């Protein structure tokens, strides 16, 4: 999980229908419980629009915000609500740009529909430094480990638990479902190790040093897959200069 700076809100989220939805929602919430059960829930149509997906490509680099798996574009992912849009939770945030995130379908299914007490770290909130407040460790076979830097930070603990679930699964079925992402992580880790070895072997050959250093920078870029897990590799922390990392 990387820190993300959101750009301009997509214009489709400024539709007149959405402003009407918020007004209807306010009226709906004033109804007594029995009347509310019989009333139609307010709705303003789709939030999955092309300009939203294009904004995800721009701001999230076409990556799932939880696993950092990269896709050709954000059309391949679900749109996940950071805070649940369900009635009884945060329906007023259904069309809120700050509450919409690109998420792989499997990770979206594995994320609990109800937030835990104190919630999760928000990678788009400058007060939540997800790159620092979570300690990332990559083990064998693409198995990832996530630990809070500070155990008193409940949001960080909740986030570490969530990241473990979407990367490694919990029960038998979810462990099988998440096996593909672990395989992809393991392959990328091997690519990083090979690139570092080639760069170290290239010392004294300026052209090869430049080529191999470029490959390392690309693999470890924030725009690439699994940035934080790959940067946690021992060989990266030992050999890769800080100015290689964007």
For residues 61 and 1, what is the distance between their CA atoms, to the nearest angstrom? 12
Rg of the chain's alpha carbons, rounded to an integer? 21
Confidence of residue 98 (pLDDT cuts 50, 70, 90): very high
Nearest to 81 by CA among 95, 61, 62: 95
Task: Report pTM.
Answer: 0.92
pLDDT tens, residue by residue, 147-158: 999 999 999 999
Nearest to 213 by CA among 223, 203, 222: 203
For residues 96 and 14, what is the distance between their CA atoms, to the nearest angstrom? 9
The burial of 142, by beta-carbon neighbours within 10 Å (0-12 exposed, 13-18 middle, 19 or more buried), is given as buried
Say if CB 226 and CB 146 are below 8 A apart: no
39 vs 200, more confident: 200
For position 106, what pLDDT does the model report?
Answer: 96
**Could you tell me the sign of the dihedral formed by the alpha carbons of 181, 68, 94, 118, in that order?**
positive
For residues 158 and 175, what is the distance between their CA atoms, to the nearest angstrom? 19
pLDDT tens, residue by residue, 104-127: 999 999 999 888 889 999 999 999
């Amino acid at each position: 999980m990387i820190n993300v700076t959101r750009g301009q809100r997509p214009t489709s989220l400024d539709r007149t229908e959405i402003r009407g939805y918020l007004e209807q929602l306010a009226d709906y919430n004033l109804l007594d419980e029995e009347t509310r059960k019989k009333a139609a829930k307010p709705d303003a149509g789709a939030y999955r629009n092309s300009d939203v997906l294009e904004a995800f490509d721009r701001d999230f680099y076409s990556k799932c915000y939880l696993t950092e798996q990269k896709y050709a574009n954000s059309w391949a992912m679900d749109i996940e609500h950071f805070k649940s849009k369900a009635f009884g939770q945060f329906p007023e945030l259904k069309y809120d740009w700050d509450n919409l995130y690109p998420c792989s379908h499997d990770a979206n299914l594995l994320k609990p529909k109800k937030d835990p007490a104190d919630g999760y770290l928000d990678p788009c909130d400058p007060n939540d430094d997800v790159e620092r407040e979570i300690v990332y460790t990559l083990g064998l076979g693409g198995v990832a480990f996530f630990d809070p830097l500070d155990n008193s930070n409940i949001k960080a603990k909740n986030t570490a638990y969530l990241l473990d679930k979407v990367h490694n699964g919990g029960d038998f079925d979810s462990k099988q479902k998440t096996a593909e992402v672990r395989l992809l992580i393991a392959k990328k880790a091997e690519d990083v190790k090979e690139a570092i070895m080639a760069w170290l072997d290239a010392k004294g050959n300026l052209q090869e040093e430049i080529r191999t250093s470029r490959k390392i920078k690309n693999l470890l870029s924030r725009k690439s897959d699994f940035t934080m897990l790959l940067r946690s590799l021992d060989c990266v922390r030992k050999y890769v200069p800080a100015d290689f990392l964007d």
